[in-house]
Amino acid sequence: MTQARAITLNALSLYAVALVLAAAYAAQFILHELPCPLCLLQRILFAALAVGPILNIRFGPRPSHYAISLLAAVAGAVASTRQVLLHILPGDAGYGSALLGYHYYTWALIGFIAAIVLLAAILLFDRQFEEDHAVLPATGGAFAQTAVWLVIALTAANVVTTLLECGFGACADNPVVYELLKHAS
């Protein structure tokens, strides 16, 4: 795999992270399901997955960049596994609504495990780490730059919506209203 192809794959992975963050927003705003503390932590760790690809696009592919995404994926898998176990008891309806038969935290666990497998798979291709003297577009070209700014914008939007939801105190275990909007009205 050439460096250029690896950078394209890294840009695609950023679009995948953006899709996950957008899907979480769809549940929040269309279905009016506010994310619980563990759900927010899983969102943060999905966003953390994006730091490795951003570094790969800016500085070129390096094993250490993949390693930090791998660490974020493992932490995300641990957090989502805990939430799956919290609702594993027979008769437990789970938190929030289900999508195609699985709750969001189950999809999150599947997503984090898929990320671990894909990161391990891409690390198999050694040629991406060798200098191939190909003339690469600065910072990955428009396709990659759009992916980077999309992920940054969605994460920045989460700063605002999380502040609105949780306010300046601890986030509710089962949030049903935006704390800051409640005080404003």
Partner 1 sequence: MEFTVLFLAIVIVMLIAWRGRRPLALGLFGALLIACIATYLHHATDTLKLSF
Minimum distance, C-beta of residue 118 to partner 1, in the bound complex (Å):
19
Q: What are phi and psi of 93, to 5 degrees?
A: -75, -10
Minimum distance, C-beta of residue 131 to partner 1, in the bound complex (Å):
17
Closest CB to partner 1 among 71 and 100? 71
- C-alpha atoms less than 13 angstroms from C-alpha of 39 in its C-beta half-sphere: 28
Q: Interface with partner 1 by CB under 8 A: which residues?
A: 37-38, 40-41, 43-45, 47-48, 50-51, 54-55, 58-59, 64, 68, 71-72, 75, 78-79, 82, 85-86, 88-90, 92, 139, 148, 151-152, 155-156, 158-159, 162-163, 166-171
Minimum distance, C-beta of residue 156 to partner 1, in the bound complex (Å):
5
- C-alpha atoms less than 13 angstroms from C-alpha of 121 in its C-beta half-sphere: 8
CB contact at 8 A, 86 and 37: no
Question: Roughly what angle, to the nearest 10 degrees, separates helices 51-59 and 37-49?
Answer: 10
